[in-house]
Amino acid sequence: MKRGLSPGLKELCRRCVEQRAELEGFSLPPLKQGSKEEQLARLYSKAKGCKGCALSLSRTNLVFGEGCPGAEVVFVGEAPGREEDIQGRPFVGPAGKLLTKMIESIGMKRGEVYIANVLKCRPPENRDPLAQEKEKCVHWLRTQLAIVKPRVIFALGTFAAQALLETDSTISELRGRVFGLEQMKLVPSYHPAALLYHPEWKRRSWEDLKLLRKTLDEARQGPR
């Protein structure tokens, strides 16, 4: 008689593999059980305790991400800043206010999209994230994307676009184009914090937002 592993043993194996993935910084396909909301909640409860890099020692809160679990569009930033670290929520500072306006400019509401960062913890004094921090952390974002399965990702700034597309190209080289990422589309653009320093880039940012809207409308013709 063929006998499989007991449910308890299966769960134990799954947890061992997950812990290994977390330590080594690779991503696992999400456990498909439950709604997207439940899957995200389970992922968050694991991420909360992450000690994958030294940023875990200086964080006030881990900033997992928030929004609609079934969102058609995910906005991806770099890393939490001071205000995000305090509140445990992404894009709640000055750059976040601009991001909300950007979302609304294409006829959407902040509550109907999903917002997350590549790094889940704030780099001290908002310094640039290190390559090894990205390597240790990006699997959380990839798993969030695998759960939400948006039609389109809007990558905010060089760091997010490079991390997701696994390229060294700069944002000025990448923006204005649409990339395929698994079953999703990715539109790279400027980070809202960069737009606050360089308002002259807002015109190009608006072009990118229109490209996002067009890409979403086209993607809606196909299956999800």
> Under the rule (CB under 6 A), what is the footprint of ligand URA?
77-81, 84, 90-91, 93, 95-96, 117, 193
Q: How far apart are CA 35 and CA 54, in angstroms?
A: 32
Smallest gap from residue 91 Cβ to ligand URA (A): 4
Q: How far is CA 23 from CA 89, 100, 141, 199, in A?
A: 24, 34, 15, 41
Smallest gap from residue 174 Cβ to ligand URA (A): 16
Of 202 and 214, which has the nearer Cβ to ligand URA?
202
Of 20 and 82, which has the nearer Cβ to ligand URA?
82
Smallest gap from residue 61 Cβ to ligand URA (A): 12
Smallest gap from residue 175 Cβ to ligand URA (A): 16
CB-count exposure of residue 213 (10 Å: 0-12, 13-18, 19+): middle
Smallest gap from residue 133 Cβ to ligand URA (A): 13
Interaxial angle between packed helices 94-105 and 202-219, expressed in degrees from 0 to 180 and rounded to the nearest 10 = 50
- Residues 102 and 192 sit within 8 Å (Cβ to Cβ): yes
Of 68 and 193, which has the nearer Cβ to ligand URA?
193
Which of these, 182, 190, 181, lies nearest to 208 by C-alpha position? 190
Of 91 and 201, which has the nearer Cβ to ligand URA?
91
Of 43 and 95, which has the nearer Cβ to ligand URA?
95
Q: Which residue is nearest to ligand URA (CB)?
A: 77
- Strand locations in the chain, DSSP E? 66-67, 73-77, 114-117, 152-156, 179-181, 184-189
- Residues 80 and 137 sit within 8 Å (Cβ to Cβ): no
